[in-house]
Structures are given as structure tokens and as C-alpha cells.
Amino acid sequence: MTSLNLPKRLKYGLLALIIAGSAASGYIYRGFPAVNEAKATTNVATISQEPHNTATITLPDFAEIATKQGPAVVNISVSGTVKTGFSGSHGFPQMDPSDPFYDFFRRFQFPAPQNNVPTHGLGSGFIVDSNGIILTNAHVVSDADEVIVKLTDKREFKAKVVGIDKLSDVAVLRIKAKDLPTVKIGDPQNARVGEWVIAIGSPFGFENTVTAGIISAKSRSLPNEGYVPFLQTDVAVNPGNSGGPLFNMSGEVIGINSQIFSRSGGYQGLSFAIPINVAMNVEQQLLDHGKVNRGRLGVMIQEVDQQLADTFGLKKPVGALVSSVEKNSPAEKAGIVPGDVILKFNGKEISRSAELPPMVSEMSPGTPATIELWRKGKSKTITMNVGEMKVASAKVKSSDSDKGDNGELGLLVRPLTPEELKQADVQGGLLVENVSDGPAARAGIREGDVILSVNGEKTGSIESLRSLIGKNGKRMALLILRGEQQMFVPINLG
């Protein structure tokens, strides 16, 4: 190598420039591949694994889907009015009697003013029929005085709310227009966890915003939303996205973006979509009948965990455990009892309890259904007619009475009074008044729970509870009433 005879300053300057240039070129290469490389493409990523060994991964073409399907996605703005005024009986807000100003304000006896304050909201929707039928969320348009639909070509239409189904959070709108672009409807049952999906909507009012992610889980059951098997995604969904479509990579709608899990009100990585097959069934019923008819068994169910599976003799924790049966319900007439585990419904296996309610609700009232049960260690198949959905309730109050302590469970219990029995609509039971450290506390028994049975045998006295505990050994399942719901709780005394 030939050595250049240069001044020291110039030599060190060139050396620094060469080092800096090498570092800079390395940074640019890693972060921003050269755009004039012959092999560079927009949809292919190359990952170098070993020398002379590369793997290519084809990425989805989001732009194509957004271009083709975007015109069928609409922006929805709603307006209405709400009455505001003081809630206190004397024209002032409710105050604590211990407040030092309570007596002072209490003397002013004039009626509270009521004002109609305008409200506004934004959401999304999509066109499913070229003659102006649009799907969105029920919570977007419920209680709205006026609904305006804006298309991507900037045309605006006043929409009529054809029908709302709050249980599924689906609403159907109609606008007076023809030859509109429509979305393609897909099948969410064919979707797989990990697949790419994109959402188009109006988050925070930013119209036709496209966000992408993957399907995180299927058949999610959310609190108070038991009749919808939600698709969970990590697609960025925010207020304003509600009612917008969720597309698969074939450009087909597989869901309606409905809810997010958030501590701040914004996106935090958990969004939930209503499967489009559920929504289309609701749409058809709303268009045909103006309401949605759902099937009902008349049972309360809970998840089967490993302890309950062991208690009931199941090989693995599957199915939906029946914790209570409503009186005069289709389930009671068919002979279903608490403690039965529903393994199959119309031939479809129930791996988790959340899968059963959507299956039942999709059936028309009066149609026959075949149910496979697990009862006392044996499989049993029954046929019954599905009823029409309704809601049952039961309430329990607490009062003083004879109390007893059971050392093995770690509970302080007492029998229910006649008034409480009537209110709870049960024939007997023991109210839990205190829970100390012990097996019951570890199993999740709480104060206010009512113990109805032990391993299927009813109990209404402290003596019978002790007898049943001694009889059933170290493992047992307590049937309890908690608020308005009955459930089995597995207890391990070992």
C-alpha cells in the first residue's frame, strides 16, 4: 500500500471523515435500504439468516385494499339534545347533610332549571347494499335526533335509523341513494389468529383513516356482552372508529369495530370487533321484522376449570357448567339440572362456556336443538325446543339471625330468613357473613354469597352443611348465589 505524505492535520481530518462516512453509511443501510438496488421491491422483505441463505416474506398490499374498499366506508355524524339541570330537590346539586352549607342552601325553595343542551358525536359505517343500506354500531346512533352520512366523494345524506339491536351493538341505517359502492362480505370463521387485518374509519374525526394489525384472538366474551363472540385485534382503533369495517387481506369485511380496552380513552393495543356473520343476521332480522329474536335455554352457566373438571369427573376442562336453571324454562322442561355440563350444542363442541350463548341466541325460538350433557360421570343426549330470550333476576338481603361457624371452610354462615328466601326465589340456603383465611377464601367465596348446595345436595342449615362437608371428603363444589347469578365454586380442603 502506498503511503501518502500529507500534513498531520489533513491526514487526521481525512481519517475522521472516512470513519464518520463509514458509520453514517452503515446507519443509512440498516435503517433505510438503498432505493436504487435492483432487488428492492415494495412488497418483499429479505431477511439474511446465514451467508448465501436468505428467506423472503411477502407483506400484504394494504394500499390495494384501501383503494378498492375505502369508497364504501362512510363517516357518520349524529346530533341530539340532552336535558341538564340541578339534580337536588331544592334546585341545587345533591349535598351531604353533614356539609356545613347544607342548612343554608336548603332554605332556597325554587325549581331547578332544565335546559336542552345540543350534543354531537362521530362514528363510522359501511355500505352493504348499493341502494343505501349501511351498517354501524348501535351506540353510535342510539338516542340521536339526526344522523348524517358522508361519503368519500363528499356527498352527504340524512339517514333513517331502520333498527337498533343493543345486545349485539349493531344498527342499520338507510339513505336515499342508488348505485353506491359496497363492501365484500367475508367469513370470520375462516379467519386465523395472527392473520393481518386492517380497519378503515374516522378516529377522532379523521375521515377514512387506515390502520393495520393482526387478529389477536377469536370468540372473546366481554362483560355484559355474552351474545357476541368478539374478534380481538391489535389494530389501532380509537373513538370515531366505532361502526367501521375490519377487513381481511382478501379485502372482505369480517367484523365491525366496536370496542376498545383502554385506561386512557385511547388505543392501548386491545380492540374488539363484532363478527360480520353476527351483524348480517341482525341486519336481516331488523329489515324483515324490525327487531331481533334470539333463542334461550333458561340456564346460567360458568367456565369449567381444572378443579371443577376433576370434581365432576371430566377428563379435561371443557364445556359449559350449568349453575342454575330458570323455573318453567325450556331447560327445566327438558330435564337440565344444575351440575350438568353442556359438552355439545347441535353437534358443535363447547370448549369454553362463552361459546354457548352465541350458538343459542342465533337459533329462532321454537326450533329444536340437540344437547350433549355430562351428568354424574356419564354422557347424556337430550332434545329440546329453544325458547325466546328473556331476563330473570334474584336479589338477596342480609339480616340478623342464628349464625354458625364452620372451621373447615373458614366461613361464618347463617340460614336465610323467609323474606330473603322469597326475594332470592330459592328454597333454602346459607348466607356467608364472614370469610376468614381458609379453603373458602382461597377459592373466592365472598361475604354476601349464599351457599345453596354441596356437590349437588341442597343445604339450608349449618348442621347439614357440616354433614355434607364431612361426607364429601377433601374435594367438593359449592353452588352459590352471588347477586343475580348462581355459580359453582370448587373447594379443596387438602
Measured CA angle at 199 (ends 198, 203), to 5 deg: 145
- Which residue in 242, 353, 361, 453 is the catalytic one? 242
Distance between CA 418 and CA 424 in Å, rounded? 10
Grid coordinates given for 491: 373447594
Q: Which of 165, 169, 340, 449 is catalytic?
A: 169
Closest CA to 391 of 484, 277, 468, 292: 484
State the residue for C-alpha cell 374525526: 205
**Residues 341, 344, 349, 350, Cα dihedral to 10°:** -40
Q: Check if 120 is active-site.
A: no
- How far is residue 451's CA from residue 415's CA, in Å, rounded to a whole number? 9
Active site residue 467: no
**Among candidate residues 182, 199, 183, 197, the one with its CA nearest the CA of residue 257:** 199
Q: Which secondary structure element, helix H or strand E, spans residue 265, and what is its range?
A: none
DSSP 456: T
Active site residue 139: yes
Taking CB atoms within 8 Å and a gap of at least 24, the contacts of 306-312 are: 307/475, 307/490, 307/492, 308/477, 308/488, 308/490, 310/475, 310/490, 311/455, 311/475, 311/476, 311/477, 311/490, 312/339, 312/341, 312/374, 312/377, 312/477
Counted residue by residue, the chain has a size of 494
Choose, from 129, 139, 142, 398, the residue flagged as catalytic: 139
- Helix (H) or strand (E) segment spanning residue 56: strand 53-58
- Quote the CA–CA distance of 188 and 194 in Å, as a whole number: 13
Do 488 and 302 form a contact (C-beta atoms < 8 A)?
yes
Known catalytic residues are 139, 169, 242
